[in-house]
Structure 1
Amino acid sequence: MEAVRKAVEFQVIGRVQGVGYRYFAQTHALMLGVKGWVKNLPDGTVVGHAVGTPDQLVSFFHKLLEGPSFSRVDDLREKPLNEQMVYRYGDFSIVR
């Protein structure tokens, strides 16, 4: 039986641009088997979509809260996405 997967939009607030944050997120997503994307926004935040099992997403968000060594995460916001988004992504990419 296939594990249930969820799709979530996330936004990371803090010092998360110019510190390798998107690459950090991509690396850990790929290691955990999380699909989706991540990108910088003009307001200084990082946003993305993440698709995975509940356990994968918990581990991924734990890593996002940790961030790379020169980052500072003040807040991590997440909201569920439409169920059809679960099937949209084949990998985890950085969007420019």
Structure 2
Amino acid sequence: MGAQDGPSIVSVEFEVFGHVQGVYFTKYCRDMCQQLGIGGWVKNSKTGTILGKMQGDRGQVDKMVQWLSKTGSPGSKVDHCDLHNWEFLARQDFRGFSIRF
């Protein structure tokens, strides 16, 4: 018994900085999270960044963190991604992944 009892569910909030609005960043983010089985939400902020929260299997969330930090949507230019409020959860709070307005 121990840490290998099954997938560990993590939750993290993110903010992506750079040229990330007007390049379908939120749509690509949602589509990727849906494919990976990650729940949560994403939206454009009033200050030109992308804000969101994602919850899911640690390995899948780590893949999304890489995408948010390095790749982004076609046409975007990610400067950096801030991650905060990492938590371990017993189960996901979110059903699916949505774009908020």
Q: Same fold (TM over 0.5)?
A: yes
1:29 corresponds in structure 2 to: 33
Following TM superposition, the consecutive aligned residue runs of length 4 or more in structure 1 with deviations greater than 4 angstroms are 81-86
Structure 1 residue 91 corresponds to structure 2 residue 75: no
Computed over aligned residues only, the root mean square deviation of the Cα atoms, in angstroms, reads: 1.7
Q: Structure 1, unaligned stretches of length 5 or more? A: none
Describe the SS at the equivalent of 1:11: strand
Query: As a proportion of its length, which structure holds more strand?
Result: 2
Describe the SS at the equivalent of 2:48: coil
The normalised TM-score by structure 2 is 0.86
Larger radius of gyration: 2
The alignment of Structure 1 onto Structure 2 pairs a total of residues equal to 96
Query: As a proportion of its length, which structure holds more helix?
Result: 1
Describe the SS at the equivalent of 1:87: coil
The normalised TM-score by structure 1 is 0.90
**Alignment of structure 1 residues 1-96 onto 2, 5 Å:** 1-64=5-68, 65-81=70-86, 87-96=92-101
Percent sequence identity is: 30
Q: Structure 2, unaligned stretches of length 5 or more? A: none
Aligned equivalents of 2:58, 2:85: Cα separation in 1? 12
* CA contact 2:39–2:95 (8 Å) conserved in 1: yes
